[in-house]
Amino acid sequence: MVQRETWATRTGFILAAVGSAVGLGNIWRFPFVTGEGGGAAFLLVYLLFVALIGFPAILAEFVVGRKTERNPVGALMELGGSAWKYVGGVFVLTGFVILSFYSVVAGWFIRYFLEGFRGSYGSLLAGYEGAAAEAELPEAAVMFGDVSTGLDAFVFHTLFMAVTIGVVALGIRRGIELAVKVMVPAIIVLLVGMAIWVATLPEASAGYSYYLSPEFGVIADNWATLLPAAAGQAFFTLSLGMGVMITYASYLGEDRNLTRDGTAIIGFDTGIAFLTGLVVFPVFFSAGMTEPGDGGPGAIFVSMTEAFATIGGGHVLGLLFFGTVSIAALSSAISLLEVVTAYVIDEKGVDRWKAALGMGGIIYLLGVPVTYDLIFLDLLDGFADGILLVFGALMLVILVGWIAPKVAVEELEKGIGNLGGLGQAWIWAIRVPILLVLVITLYLGVEGYVGFLTGDFADWISANL
């Protein structure tokens, strides 16, 4: 057997994992689900979820990948037996569903980036003045409504998917590592700069208190919706629950300290999401939008274009921001298509080009309805985050906690040394409390999704068909 390829540089793995984790989940999804969840209450539940469940779960994916040195489906079967191929099938399906809408949203970022070459963001918004007055909405909200669906959205979805397929088909890993190396620091510098500027806005303090001071009563009253929403966001943003981290860890040397790498990845990812919130909410309140939940999937676009239209140098900052996020989205999209493609290559023996093009093509088609109406965004996103990712994480927890705990602890200890009681603490945390929380979350997620199907979605169908 050929020696399996490992990461070329010590930082290669971290870069690829951070590149996968940091993406639209942090910049686009985090602020709007936080808004919908009521702000600070959501933030707190989300942070707890990341620390108490995301961290043990990412370690579980790491050990499974590094131990088996295989693609997610093969890895699950090696540790769990052949029935686990169905769980692997769910992983692949999850990749399909997520990437389909992800590509449409990434297309919006590319569009906003390219718009910046036609004029400043201020002059762009001025073009929406009349329509905005009529609709009694900020110009930026009207602009988002205009570009987020229809032919424009379709074209940019096509463009983004074509690039993603191209990169995966060519197997360009090196280019991506380099891009991540530049992009992550760039995003952090940009967001920190924006956060400082935003603090000078007139209604900044209203934004901060909405985002940062949780009312515990709100959490107690809403836990049944907060829990699945926070869980879905945590798994989505960390790229957990569908085998991306299994895949990346399968190329990893045994000398790596997995807890340290996991902490770094989670730290970057969570930090970037948190910073995004620090920018978005003060802008929202200062623009007179006091119900941040109403922003929906447009929240980041509305608040950022508002900001770039007012701020000195906003034109350049805007180009930088939308451009960088587009690249961040690409590095995440690649990880999604890579898992699906690698599986088809391994299992069906087709070559890389055919696999990437075939799978990417189907995913592309699945995303097209989203460019027609945003109800399809809820349909796909809700299924993936509310159900599929939580299910994937639950299966992983069962595998590591109950089926192969000994192997898992031994694997975790490689590169760290004897963990003593800590290894056992990890296993027991996974086995009982985390497993229970995931079962409850999955139940609530299914319930919420069925509610959507029979409610909003059924209404939409009867109104439109």
> 332, 341, 371, 441: which one contacts ligand TRP (CB under 6 A)?
332
Alpha carbon 454 to its chain centroid, in Å, reads 26
CB 118: neighbour CB atoms within 10 A?
9
Among the listed ranges 17-25, 124-132, 167-175, 416-424, the one in contact with ligand TRP (CB under 6 A) is: 17-25
| Residue 78: CB minimum distance to ligand TRP, A | 21
Touching ligand TRP, residues 213-252 (CB under 6 A): 236-237, 239, 241-242, 244
| Residue 236: CB minimum distance to ligand TRP, A | 5
Decide: is 441 part of the binding site for ligand TRP (CB under 6 A).
no
Give the contacts of 416 (CB within 8 A, at least 6 positions apart). Answer: 257, 258, 259
| Residue 27: CB minimum distance to ligand TRP, A | 8
Give the contacts of 259 (CB within 8 A, at least 6 positions apart). Answer: 59, 412, 416
- On whether the CB atoms of residues 253 and 6 are closer than 8 A, the answer is yes
| Residue 22: CB minimum distance to ligand TRP, A | 7
Question: 253 φ, ψ to 5°?
Answer: -75, 155
Nearest residue to ligand TRP on Cβ basis: 25
Touching ligand TRP, residues 18-57 (CB under 6 A): 20-21, 23-26
| Residue 25: CB minimum distance to ligand TRP, A | 2
SS3 state at 3: coil
Touching ligand TRP, residues 365-394 (CB under 6 A): 389
SS3 state at 290: coil
Q: Which is nearer to ligand TRP, 24 or 275 (CB)?
A: 24
Among the listed ranges 56-64, 134-142, 332-340, 346-354, the one in contact with ligand TRP (CB under 6 A) is: 332-340
Among 382, 386, 46, 385, which Cα is nearest to 211's? 46
Among 19, 338, 9, 12, which Cα is nearest to 180's? 19
CB 259: neighbour CB atoms within 10 A?
18
Q: How many residues bind ligand TRP (CB under 6 A)?
A: 17
Decide: is 77 part of the binding site for ligand TRP (CB under 6 A).
no
Q: Which is nearer to ligand TRP, 336 or 398 (CB)?
A: 336
| Residue 335: CB minimum distance to ligand TRP, A | 4
Query: Hey, what are 66's tokens?
Result: 């590094």
Q: Which is nearer to ligand TRP, 141 or 370 (CB)?
A: 370
Q: Which is nearer to ligand TRP, 21 or 396 (CB)?
A: 21
| Residue 372: CB minimum distance to ligand TRP, A | 23
Question: 252 φ, ψ to 5°?
Answer: -100, 140
Give CA–CA dist 341/399, Å, rounded: 24
- Residue recorded with tokens 């390219």: 114
Touching ligand TRP, residues 111-140 (CB under 6 A): none
CB 10: neighbour CB atoms within 10 A?
10
Decide: is 324 part of the binding site for ligand TRP (CB under 6 A).
no
Q: Which is nearer to ligand TRP, 20 or 71 (CB)?
A: 20
Decide: is 72 part of the binding site for ligand TRP (CB under 6 A).
no
Question: 94 φ, ψ to 5°?
Answer: -60, -45
Decide: is 92 part of the binding site for ligand TRP (CB under 6 A).
no
SS3 state at 368: helix
Q: Which is nearer to ligand TRP, 259 or 332 (CB)?
A: 332
Give CA–CA dist 179/334, Å, rounded: 13
Q: Taking each helix axis as running N to C, give the angle between helix 40-49 and helix 204-212, from 0 to 180 degrees, rounded to the nearest 10.
A: 40
Positions touching ligand TRP (CB under 6 A) are 20-21, 23-26, 98, 236-237, 239, 241-242, 244, 332, 335-336, 389
